[in-house]
Every structure is written in structure tokens, then in C-alpha cells.
Structure 1
Amino acid sequence: MNPKSTLNIAGHPIHPMLIPFPVAFFVGTLVTDILHSQSDDPFWPAASNWMLTAGLVMAALAALAGLTDFFGDSRIRSLRAAWLHMIGNIVLVLIEAVSLWRRVVQGPDFIVPTGLALSLIAVALLLFNGWKGWEMVYRHRVGVSEETSNSAR
């Protein structure tokens, strides 16, 4: 039997439904940071702050769903990929929270180069964390229904 997703709607895990939002917002932050580095337009730093804020809110929701699954099935907790995924996402959220805090305190001057560097690190972490999430689903079958597993074989 595959490890089950504890938090789901009609058998569909909620965590993978939520994760595209913080991913898009954090990548959007990198894009707006790059645009700010090339322009004096005050729109771009404001857009970065909004992207970071929305990303952190959605990351919190995705984290709640992910932690519910993590603690809901001991088989998930036994996976090294699950631990790396969780730790990587905690580090990602901490980096983005510090970045937002410094942007609010220091203003747009923080973005180049430090905020931009943090956004690059965040996107690199997104790639790693996404790879580990993919590994849990496609290698360890976390949250995959038995019917789907049997029809794929």
C-alpha cells in the first residue's frame, strides 16, 4: 500500500494543489528583483514585496498541508526525501521571510545586490525541494491512490 496523504479532498492530496502558488510567487520575486536591478521604476520593488508576501502566505498554507501528511503517516516520515523536502522548505521560507523583513526595513536599496542574491538562492532551493517532492510522489508513491498505481503497472 502506498503512503497516504492525510489531508485530501475526495482522495486528492491538498499539498500538491497548493505548492504551485508559493513557487510562482517566489520565482516572480526573482523576476521583479531582476527588473528592479535594470530600472529605477518604484513599481518593481513594490511588486517584489507583494510577491514575497503572497508567497509566504501560500507557503504557510502548503506547509500546514504538508506537515499534516508528514505527521499523518509514519511511512512518509521514514523517507529521507520527505525529511530533505521539509527541511529545504523550512530553510526556503526562512530566507524569504528574512528577505521580506529586510526589504521593509531598508527599502529598495536592500534588493541590489542582497535581495537579488537571496531570491536566486530561494529559486535554487525551490528546484531542490521540488525534486525531493517529485521523488516522494513518483518513486515512493506518496499520496498516489492504489487504483492509479495498479493501472500504471
Structure 2
Amino acid sequence: MNPKSTLSIAGHPIHPMLIPFPVAAFVGTLVVDIVYARSGDPAWAVATNWMLGAGLVMAALAAVAGLTDFLGDSRIRDLRAAWLHMIGNVVLVLIEAVNLWRRLAEGGDFIVPTGLVLSLIATALLLFNGWKGWEMVYRHRVGVSEDPANPTR
């Protein structure tokens, strides 16, 4: 049997349902940072704060679902990819939390170049973390139903 997702709805794992939101928000932060760096318009500096805040809230929800799955099946904890995925995501959230904190404290002056560099690092880390998440699903079959015709089994 494949390692099961502990937190699911009708056999569908919740963690993969949530992760597109922080990914989009964190990549969107990088895009908005680039727009701000090119335009200097302070409205874009405010937009990055909202993007980071939304990304962190959704990352927290995805983290709860992911941690529940991680702790719920020892076969998942036995996977090196699961540990790398989890540690990478913790580092990502810490980077983005510092990124938001410094932006709120220093305003738009922090964005170029430091905030922009942190957003670039975070986006690169998202690629690594996504690769490890892909590996868990497609190589180790974590959360994949044994019977595709009946996902509740």
C-alpha cells in the first residue's frame, strides 16, 4: 500500500490543494518586486506586503496539512525527500517572514535590493521544494490512491 495522506477530503489529500496559493503569492511577490524596482511607484511596495502576508497565511495552512501527513504515516517520515521538502519549506517561510517584517519596518527602501534578492532566493527554494514534493508523490506514491477508480480506498 502507498503511504496515506492523513488529512484528506474524500480520499483527496488537502496539502496539495493548498500549496498553489502560497506558491503563487511568493512568486507574485518577486514579480511585483521587479515592477517596483523598475517603476519606483510606492503602490507596488504596498502590494508586495499584501502578497507576502497572503502567502504566509496560506503557507501556514499548507504547513499544518503537510505536517499532519508527515506525522500521520511513518513511511512518509522514512523518506529523505519528505525531510528535505519539510526543512526547505520551513526555511522558505522563515525567509519570507523576515522579508515581510523588514518591509513593514523599513518600507520601500528595503525592497531594492535586499527584498528583491530575498524574493529571488525564495522563488529558487520553491523550485527545490516543489521538486521534492513531486518526488514524494510520483516516485514514492505518497497520498496516491491504490485504486484510481475509487480514491476513498
The TM-score normalised by the length of structure 1 is: 0.96
The Cα of 1:60 is off from its aligned counterpart by 0.1
Q: 1:74 and 2:74 equivalent? A: yes
The CA distance in 2 between the partners of 1:117 and 1:82, in whole Å, is 27
Aligned AA (1:121): I
Q: How many residues align?
A: 149
Amino acid at match of 1:49: N
Query: Which digits, 9 at most, give the CA deviation of each residue in 1:56-90, with x for residues without a partner?
Result: 00000000000000000000000000000000000
Once residues 39 and 66 of structure 1 are traced to their aligned partners in structure 2, the CA distance between those partners, rounded to angstroms, is 38
How far does the alpha carbon of each residue in 1:27-76 deviate from its partner, in whole angstroms, 9 at most, with x for none?
A: 00000000000012111101100000000000000000000000000000
Q: 1: distance between equivalents of 2:34 and 2:46?
A: 13
What is aligned with 2:132?
Answer: 132
Q: Which runs of no fewer than 5 residues in structure 2 stay unpaired? A: none
Using the size of structure 2 for normalisation, the TM-score is: 0.96
What amino acid is aligned across from residue 111 of structure 1 in structure 2?
Answer: I
Query: In 2, distance between residues paired with 1:136 and 1:9?
Result: 19
Other structure's SS at 1:146 match: coil
Q: Residue deviations 1:129-148, cap 9 Å, x none? A: 00000000000000000013
Distance in 2, matches of 1:4 and 1:43, equals 45
Match of 1:21 in 2: 21
RMSD: 0.9
CA distance in structure 1 between the partners assigned to 2:128 and 2:137 by the alignment: 15
The residue that corresponds to 1:34 in the other structure is 34
Residue in 2 aligned with 1:118? Answer: 118
After TM superposition, which residue ranges in structure 1, 4 or more long, deviate above 6 angstroms?
Answer: none
- Amino acid aligned to 1:119: S
Distance 2:133 2:45 in 1: 31
CA distance in 1, matches of 2:14, 2:72: 13
Q: Distance in 2 between matches of 1:43 and 1:17?
A: 31
